[in-house]
Protein backbone atom coordinates (compact mmCIF):
# COMPACT_ATOMS: atom_id res chain seq x y z
CA UNK A 1 0.00 0.00 0.00
CA UNK A 2 1.26 3.51 -0.83
CA UNK A 3 2.28 5.73 2.08
CA UNK A 4 -0.37 8.31 1.17
CA UNK A 5 -3.08 5.67 1.58
CA UNK A 6 -1.58 4.48 4.85
CA UNK A 7 -1.59 8.04 6.14
CA UNK A 8 -5.18 8.58 5.11
CA UNK A 9 -6.27 5.42 6.93
CA UNK A 10 -4.09 6.12 9.96
CA UNK A 11 -5.78 9.52 10.32
CA UNK A 12 -9.01 7.57 10.74
CA UNK A 13 -7.27 5.54 13.50
CA UNK A 14 -6.97 2.41 11.37
CA UNK A 15 -4.72 0.13 13.46
CA UNK A 16 -3.31 -1.77 10.46
CA UNK A 17 -2.33 1.47 8.73
CA UNK A 18 -0.65 2.73 11.91
CA UNK A 19 1.26 -0.52 12.11
CA UNK A 20 2.20 -0.17 8.44
CA UNK A 21 3.67 3.30 9.03
CA UNK A 22 5.48 2.03 12.11
CA UNK A 23 7.03 -0.86 10.20
CA UNK A 24 8.24 1.44 7.44
CA UNK A 25 9.96 3.94 9.69
CA UNK A 26 10.77 2.31 13.02
CA UNK A 27 14.27 1.11 12.13
CA UNK A 28 15.54 4.51 11.11
CA UNK A 29 14.02 6.22 14.15
CA UNK A 30 15.45 3.59 16.51
CA UNK A 31 18.91 3.67 14.92
CA UNK A 32 19.08 7.43 15.22
CA UNK A 33 17.89 7.34 18.84
CA UNK A 34 20.44 4.66 19.70
CA UNK A 35 23.33 6.39 17.96
CA UNK A 36 22.46 9.63 19.73
CA UNK A 37 22.07 8.11 23.21
CA UNK A 38 24.16 4.94 23.13
CA UNK A 39 21.58 3.40 25.45
CA UNK A 40 19.08 0.67 24.52
CA UNK A 41 16.41 1.62 27.05
CA UNK A 42 16.54 5.28 26.12
CA UNK A 43 16.45 4.44 22.42
CA UNK A 44 13.35 2.30 22.95
CA UNK A 45 11.61 4.99 25.03
CA UNK A 46 12.43 7.63 22.43
CA UNK A 47 11.18 5.47 19.56
CA UNK A 48 7.94 4.66 21.37
CA UNK A 49 7.38 8.27 22.36
CA UNK A 50 8.04 9.42 18.80
CA UNK A 51 5.37 7.15 17.34
CA UNK A 52 2.85 7.91 20.10
CA UNK A 53 3.26 11.64 19.44
CA UNK A 54 3.16 11.15 15.67
CA UNK A 55 -0.08 9.14 15.78
CA UNK A 56 -1.62 11.65 18.21
CA UNK A 57 -0.76 14.57 15.96
CA UNK A 58 -1.33 12.98 12.58
CA UNK A 59 -4.19 15.42 11.93
CA UNK A 60 -1.72 18.29 12.01
CA UNK A 61 0.47 16.69 9.31
CA UNK A 62 -0.72 18.43 6.16
CA UNK A 63 1.61 16.69 3.72
CA UNK A 64 3.62 19.83 2.87
CA UNK A 65 6.78 17.82 3.60
CA UNK A 66 7.49 14.10 3.44
CA UNK A 67 6.03 12.07 6.30
CA UNK A 68 9.53 10.78 7.10
CA UNK A 69 10.80 14.38 7.49
CA UNK A 70 7.91 15.24 9.80
CA UNK A 71 8.42 12.04 11.79
CA UNK A 72 12.14 12.69 12.14
CA UNK A 73 11.45 16.21 13.32
CA UNK A 74 9.48 14.67 16.16
CA UNK A 75 12.15 12.00 16.72
CA UNK A 76 15.03 14.48 16.95
CA UNK A 77 13.05 16.73 19.30
CA UNK A 78 12.16 13.82 21.58
CA UNK A 79 15.79 12.62 21.47
CA UNK A 80 17.32 16.00 22.27
CA UNK A 81 14.79 16.55 25.09
CA UNK A 82 15.66 13.12 26.52
CA UNK A 83 19.38 13.87 26.35
CA UNK A 84 18.86 17.19 28.10
CA UNK A 85 16.99 15.42 30.89
CA UNK A 86 19.86 12.95 31.30
CA UNK A 87 22.35 15.82 31.32
CA UNK A 88 20.33 17.51 34.04
CA UNK A 89 20.14 14.24 35.97
CA UNK A 90 23.89 13.79 35.50
CA UNK A 91 24.46 17.16 37.14
CA UNK A 92 21.96 16.60 39.93
CA UNK A 93 21.77 12.81 40.37
CA UNK A 94 23.97 9.83 41.10
CA UNK A 95 27.05 9.90 38.90
CA UNK A 96 27.39 6.13 38.53
CA UNK A 97 24.24 5.68 36.45
CA UNK A 98 24.58 8.93 34.54
CA UNK A 99 28.14 8.14 33.53
CA UNK A 100 27.03 4.93 31.89
CA UNK A 101 24.43 6.65 29.73
CA UNK A 102 25.74 7.64 26.35
CA UNK A 103 29.34 6.85 27.18
CA UNK A 104 29.79 4.12 24.57
CA UNK A 105 32.47 1.44 24.83
CA UNK A 106 35.65 2.46 26.58
CA UNK A 107 39.02 0.80 26.07
CA UNK A 108 42.12 1.35 28.18
CA UNK A 109 44.26 2.08 25.11
CA UNK A 110 41.88 3.40 22.53
CA UNK A 111 42.89 3.13 18.91
CA UNK A 112 42.24 5.89 16.42
CA UNK A 113 38.67 4.79 15.72
CA UNK A 114 37.91 4.70 19.42
CA UNK A 115 39.48 8.13 19.79
CA UNK A 116 37.19 9.34 17.03
CA UNK A 117 34.14 7.99 18.87
CA UNK A 118 35.17 9.73 22.06
CA UNK A 119 35.75 12.92 20.11
CA UNK A 120 32.25 12.66 18.60
CA UNK A 121 30.86 12.13 22.12
CA UNK A 122 32.45 15.35 23.27
CA UNK A 123 31.14 17.53 20.42
CA UNK A 124 28.56 20.20 21.27
CA UNK A 125 25.08 18.75 20.91
CA UNK A 126 24.15 20.57 17.68
CA UNK A 127 27.36 19.43 15.95
CA UNK A 128 27.13 15.88 17.23
CA UNK A 129 23.54 15.63 15.98
CA UNK A 130 24.53 16.63 12.45
CA UNK A 131 27.59 14.33 12.44
CA UNK A 132 25.51 11.38 13.64
CA UNK A 133 22.77 12.06 11.12
CA UNK A 134 25.07 12.70 8.14
CA UNK A 135 28.27 10.73 8.64
CA UNK A 136 26.96 7.90 10.79
CA UNK A 137 23.38 7.34 9.62
CA UNK A 138 23.75 8.72 6.10
CA UNK A 139 20.97 11.35 6.11
CA UNK A 140 21.08 13.96 3.38
CA UNK A 141 21.43 17.63 4.34
CA UNK A 142 17.88 18.22 3.11
CA UNK A 143 16.59 15.59 5.54
CA UNK A 144 18.69 16.94 8.42
CA UNK A 145 17.46 20.46 7.76
CA UNK A 146 13.84 19.28 7.77
CA UNK A 147 14.28 17.24 10.93
CA UNK A 148 16.06 19.95 12.87
CA UNK A 149 14.08 22.88 11.48
CA UNK A 150 17.20 24.59 10.11
CA UNK A 151 18.36 25.70 6.65
CA UNK A 152 20.27 23.27 4.42
CA UNK A 153 23.20 25.70 4.45
CA UNK A 154 23.22 25.67 8.26
CA UNK A 155 23.33 21.88 8.27
CA UNK A 156 26.32 21.93 5.89
CA UNK A 157 28.08 24.62 7.90
CA UNK A 158 27.56 22.75 11.17
CA UNK A 159 28.92 19.54 9.67
CA UNK A 160 31.95 21.37 8.37
CA UNK A 161 32.61 22.97 11.78
CA UNK A 162 32.06 19.65 13.53
CA UNK A 163 34.60 17.92 11.26
CA UNK A 164 37.07 20.73 11.86
CA UNK A 165 36.69 20.26 15.62
CA UNK A 166 37.14 16.50 15.27
CA UNK A 167 40.31 17.01 13.18
CA UNK A 168 41.59 19.36 15.84
CA UNK A 169 40.81 16.91 18.66
CA UNK A 170 42.58 14.12 16.75
CA UNK A 171 45.51 16.22 15.61
CA UNK A 172 47.94 13.99 17.55
CA UNK A 173 46.97 11.22 15.17
CA UNK A 174 47.38 13.29 12.00
CA UNK A 175 48.70 11.04 9.29
CA UNK A 176 47.28 7.83 10.68
CA UNK A 177 43.88 8.19 9.08
CA UNK A 178 45.33 8.26 5.58
CA UNK A 179 47.02 4.89 6.08
Partner 1 sequence: MTEDGFEDFMKDAAKGYRKPPSVPREAMWQRIQEVRLARRARFRTVAWGAGMAAALVIGVAIGRYAYSNVEMGQPIASGVEEEGAHGAYRYAAADHFERADAFLAMFAAEAEAGTADEEIKEWALNLMVTTQLMLQSPAAEDPAFRELLEDLEAILVQIAGYEPEWGEMELELIEDGIQERNVVLRLQALAANTETFTTEGVE
Residues of this chain that bind partner 1 (CB under 8 A): 19, 22-23, 26-27, 30-31, 34-35, 38, 40, 43-44, 47-48, 51-53, 55-57, 59-60, 62, 73-74, 77, 80-81, 85, 104, 112-113, 116-117, 120, 131-132, 135-136, 149, 163, 166-167, 174-175, 177-178
Q: How far apart are CB 74 and partner 1 at their closest, in Å? A: 7
The Cα-based distances of 10 to 4, 14, 54, 71 in angstroms read 10, 5, 11, 14
Q: How far apart are CB 153 and partner 1 at their closest, in Å? A: 19
Considering the complex, state which of residue 5 and residue 160 has its C-beta at the smaller distance from partner 1: 160
Residues 6+ apart with CB under 8 A from 105: 114, 117
CA 142 to chain centre: 15
Considering the complex, state which of residue 52 and residue 157 has its C-beta at the smaller distance from partner 1: 52
Q: Is 1 exposed, middle or buried (0-12, 13-18, 19+ CB in 10 A)?
A: exposed
Number of H-type helices and E-type strands within the chain: 9, 0
Q: How far apart are CB 33 and partner 1 at their closest, in Å? A: 9
Considering the complex, state which of residue 97 and residue 103 has its C-beta at the smaller distance from partner 1: 103
Considering the complex, state which of residue 61 and residue 152 has its C-beta at the smaller distance from partner 1: 61
Q: How far apart are CB 167 and partner 1 at their closest, in Å? A: 6
The Cα-based distances of 29 to 61, 93, 153, 161, 168 in angstroms read 18, 28, 24, 25, 31
Considering the complex, state which of residue 94 and residue 113 has its C-beta at the smaller distance from partner 1: 113
Give the C-alpha separation, 59 to 7, whole Å: 10
Instruction: Decide: 154 and 145 in contact? Cβ < 8 Å.
Output: yes
Q: How far apart are CB 36 and partner 1 at their closest, in Å? A: 8
Amino acid sequence: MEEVQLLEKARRKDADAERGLYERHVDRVYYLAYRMTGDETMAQDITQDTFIKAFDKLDSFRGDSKFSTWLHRIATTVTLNALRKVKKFRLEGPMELADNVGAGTVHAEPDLTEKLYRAIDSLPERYRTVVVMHDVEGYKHQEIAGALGIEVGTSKAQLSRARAQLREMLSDFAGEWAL
